[in-house]
Amino acid sequence: MSTEQNTRAAHGPAEEGANVSESGPAILVLEDGRVFHGRSFGATGETFGEAVFNTGMTGYQETLTDPSYHRQIVVMTAPHIGNTGVNDDDPESGRVWVAGYVVREPARITSNWRAERTLDEELRRQGVVGIALTGTRALTRHLRDKGVMRAAISTTETDPRALLERVRQQPTMAGADLAAEVSTGEPYEVLPPEGVTARFHVAAVDLGIKAMTPQRLAERGCRVTVLPSTATAEEILALDPDGVFFSNGPGDPATADGPVTAMRGVLDAGRPLFGICFGNQILGRALDLGTYKLPFGHRGVNQPVIDTRSGRVAITSQNHGFAVEAPLDEPFDTPYGRAEVSHIGLNDRVVEGLRLLDRPAFSVQFHPEAAAGPHDAAELFDAFVDLMSAQPAPAAK
């Protein structure tokens, strides 16, 4: 059992109604020896993970419940977190996935008509250790300059040197194969809402899927069968889907050999294919492209991306620490015909999308379901539907 799991088991659900005022000292230690002192927020205990920062000013509940943050300690750059509390309608999954949570100033009052409990209550209920510290700006600048790194939050260990030794014993995110740890164990279906006719059947491979993604497809007339991350090409194609979707997820794409093999089988079959985030990296690997770890990644709801064909700029939601290596300025050859980079990040010219020119397949590195713009990237779901509309229906079995 991991340290994170030990923390959750030891600190279990907290009683409802507690507030943030009862807190003791806490420390955050980075693997390079940098130490930050603050106050306990959420559950007490200690936790380990990769320290990353998120620049979003809103959406903290969606961040906490995004499986892509598995094994990461998330630092929020917005100064006030928790103002709108927590409800049971907005989570992207059935639990909080972050390993730890760092905020500057937790909201003292929850003020929203949809709130069902405070953020502090929710973190303690789910056993998530957090820290409130005034130095989140300094911490973010340090991670930006030095790169994301392993870290720990503790409310029980007072000696930073002792904690540092254990931080350096933790596994790194590079080489981590995590999709199976966050994926569904059994297939399930998401149906179109009342009044919307199911026109297409989509097989969605869950590498860490967020709840809103199949809902966006369902709104467009898709019956979505969500499959475990271990699904093979044979299992996917046995459903006779009109299209196949590969989701976001955590970990190093270089380790995801199973999903890469499955995607190659889907490409061989010529079925329309759409991937986001981790799915974009899986498509890159399926095309024999390389992947690499970014110094500090892209995490937030304000990432500008340009469409290489139209020149249109979209403000996107992103959460990734790895990227695809590909030629930015011209089409290139792959085992599945020619392909091109469809989107480029304007901050650092990172590959933000891939498009095959000879097969019905494309992917993006950002999250079009997250409505960051608020609707800048929603058309990508329509593009996937258009791909399925243009293809002959799968043969009935």
φ, ψ (nearest 5 deg) of residue 11: -110, -10
Q: What is the pLDDT of residues 325-375, one digit of tens each?
A: 999 999 999 999 999 999 999 999 999 999 999 999 999 999 988 655 556
Q: Is the pLDDT of residue 20 over 60?
A: no
CA–CA dist 125, 224 (Å, integer): 31
Tell me if 49 sits within 8 A of 71, measured CB to CB.
yes
The token pair at 312 is: 């249109």
Rounded mean pLDDT, 75-85: 96
Query: Which positions make up the binding site for L-glutamine?
Result: 68, 249, 251, 278, 281, 319, 321-322
Residue with tokens 């994301």: 148
Q: Which of 62, 121, 352, 369 is catalytic?
A: 369
CA 342 – CA 238 distance, rounded (Å): 30
Burial 139-153 (b: 16+ CB within 10 A, else e): bbebbeeeebbbbbb
The active-site residue, picked from 277, 298, 320, 352, is 277
Return residue ranges of the chain for CATH 3.50.30.20: 25-169
Give pLDDT tens digits for 179-233. 999 999 999 999 999 999 999 999 999 999 999 999 999 999 999 999 999 999 9
Q: What is the pLDDT of residue 373?
A: 53
The string over 238-271, giving b where at least 16 C-beta atoms fall within 10 Å of a residue's C-beta and e elsewhere, is: ebebbbbbbbbbbbbbbebebbbebbbbbbeeeb
Residue type, 382: D
pLDDT at 276: 97
CATH number of 25-169: 3.50.30.20
Q: How far is CA 207 from the centre of its chain?
A: 10
Mean pLDDT of the 74-96 span: 95
- Contact at 8 Å (CB) between 133 and 42? no
Q: How far is it, in rounded angstroms, from Cα 56 to Cα 247?
A: 21
Kindly write down the DSSP assignment for every residue of 184-223, as one continuous string: -SS-EEEPPPTT----EEEEEE-SS--THHHHHHHHTTEE
- Are the CB atoms for 48 and 70 separated by under 8 Å? no
Give me the sign of the Cα torsion angle 267, 269, 270, 271.
negative
Count CB-CB contacts under 10 A for residue 311.
7
**pLDDT value of position 375:** 63
Task: Tell me the average pLDDT of the chain.
Answer: 92
pTM greater than 0.85 (yes/no): yes
Give catalytic status of residue 369 as yes or no: yes
Q: Is the pLDDT of residue 17 over 80?
A: no
Q: Which of 289, 204, 293, 290 is CA-nearest to residue 251?
A: 293
HSE on the CB side for 332, CA within 13 Å? 14
pLDDT at 371: 58
Instruction: Return residue ranges of the chain for CATH 3.40.50.880.
Output: 179-390
Is 222 one of the catalytic residues?
no
Q: What is the pLDDT of residue 21?
A: 46
Confidence of residue 244 (pLDDT cuts 50, 70, 90): very high
CATH code for the domain defined by 179-390? 3.40.50.880
